[in-house]
Amino acid sequence: MATFGTLSDRLADTFKNLRTKGKLSAADVDGTVREIRRALLDADVALDVVKDFTGRVRERALGDEVSKALNPAQQVVQIVNDELVTILGGQQRRLEFAKKPPTVIMLAGLQGAGKTTLAGKLAKWLKKDGHTPLLVASDLQRPNAVNQLQVVGEQAGVPVYAPEPGNGVGDPVKVARDGVRFAEQKLYDTVIVDTAGRLGVDAELMKQASNIRKAVDPDEVLFVIDAMIGQDAVATAKAFLDGVDFTGVVLSKLDGDARGGAALSIASVTGRPIMFASTGEGLDDFEPFHPDRMASRILDLGDILTLIEQAQQNFDEEEARKVAEKFATDSFTLDDFLKQMQQLRGMGSIKKMMGMLPGMGQMKEQLQNFDEREIVRTEAIIQSMTTAERTNPKILNGSRRLRIAKGSGMTVTEVNALVNRFEQAAKMMKTVAKGGVPNIPGMGPVPGARTNRPKPQAKKKGSRSGNPAKRAAENAGAVETPAAATGAGFGLGGGPSSGSAAPTEAELAELQKFLGR
């Protein structure tokens, strides 16, 4: 996650210095805590939060749980992880739905925080979860805010209640109240009210937001905060807490390149949980906030659970079973490969998914250089093939490959590379499907693993004599090959076998010549 990139690097460097030590002294702990304090301050975390955080880490690091641990460095990492989870809110907080629909969710925050786009993301997320949301356009001040919400609603496939054109025209409190009544009449179970913001906190903004809250009596008030605004996030959050009183926080723009200290400060300062995070510009770049998973990402420990959840949402279990059977029976085709690529692309950004793997923070340069459009190019090549060619790539001769390259806008070299990758992947997956462990290029075989070894080839018949004349004679069948000598190792200690013959004068002369005598 880009927002915490610098913080992750600093913490990783700090812990790297601990791994070489079998036992930690008080000076080691103090030096580590000092580096953590600097990393957090550089990341724009609020000073009070940093003091409390480092104080708890130091106290626990000097305690028995580290001094008696077999691996003190790992124990310190665990302590930092636990304390990060604490300042991020501890437990995940879910939306609380009303016992009698509709559930009213009000969005509040400064202008530019991303409330309108987030309204569409939240609506789409709720729709996927089986709800019937309605968007209410109560931001009548910002130019074209109503139009933007209508466009976002259309993209999300969610209706929008917008009786007023906006641009300074209309009463936002009345629109919000009428929107809830409209949802009751049309049996929508969730209402998301988009409200106006300001470039800064002022009395008019707080009064309008407070009036809307009184009018609709929301079940949830979500404070949308830009994760890139730094130290000002804490002051803004406190102002909205006093003026409107929100129930949860939504972090937007977590894909930015800012230092991200706002995320680590708000939950601790306000006492309100972070409930959702917006991680990109697309409507699907939205996820519930898990404090423990976010702490793992910051410490470069990965987020496998979120990765698994995304895979479960986008991959069909029945289809996966069929593909596994095709791997085992060697009937996996380029059509199946294309379907797998399309499902993978449906999960979202490949870079983000790879970033959820443990230790990927050490491969930032490779991740940055990864081209997501490679999947699109692969799809274009496969879709330029005929059904027969996808089913049996072995028929792809030179003319066919040239036609496919022209049809997909690629080169013949790229077509050849795709076919080669497909064949290698099919072989590897076939080995895995049969319970073996494939040999990965650049790596040796896994010790103790069952691999598909090639059958030993029969040895070629013929003489292996070191004497050129004798070897030629034996290969011509003129001299019978002597039987193996019996006796001790290396052919010593045994008597002459019955089938052996004495060397001829020509052979002795050739042997002397060979030995240089």
- Does residue 112 have a known ligand-binding role? yes
Annotated ligand binding at 253? The verdict is: yes
Q: Is 459 annotated as a binding residue?
A: no
> Is 118 a known ligand-binding residue?
no
Sign of CA dihedral 397, 399, 404, 410: positive
Q: Is 194 annotated as a binding residue?
A: yes
Beta carbons within 8 Å of 90's beta carbon, 6+ residues apart: 291
DSSP track, 188-230? -SEEEEE----SS--HHHHHHHHHHHHHH--SEEEEEEETTST
Q: Is 198 annotated as a binding residue?
A: yes
Question: Does 116 count as an annotated binding residue?
Answer: yes
Q: What HEC string does 131-185 produce?
A: CCEEEEECCCCCCCHHHHHHHHHHHHCCCEECCCCECCECCHHHHHHHHHHHHHH
- Is 417 assigned a ligand-binding role in the annotation? no
The residue written with tokens 């931001």 in the block is 139
Strands 190-194 and 103-108 come out as parallel
Q: Is 28 annotated as a binding residue?
A: no
Q: Is 113 annotated as a binding residue?
A: yes
Single-letter residue type at 514: F
Asked whether the bond before 102 is cis by omega within 30 degrees of 0, the reply is: yes
Q: How many CB atoms lie within 10 A of CB 270?
A: 17
- The pair of structure tokens assigned to 65 is 């749980």
476: enclosing H helix or E strand: none
Please name the amino acid found at residue 460.
Answer: K
Flag whether 114 is marked binding: yes
User: Does residue 477 come out as left (phi exceeding 0), alpha (psi in the -120 to 50 range) or beta?
Assistant: left
Contact between 193 and 138 under an 8 Å Cβ cutoff? The reply is yes
Copy the structure tokens of residue 255: 């894909």
DSSP 437: -
d(CA 236, CA 241): 9
Does 261 belong to an annotated binding site?
no
Q: Is 109 annotated as a binding residue?
A: yes
Residue 229 and residue 67: Cα distance in Å, rounded?
40
Annotated binding site for GTP: 109-116, 194-198, 252-255
Q: Binding-site residues, please?
A: 109-116, 194-198, 252-255
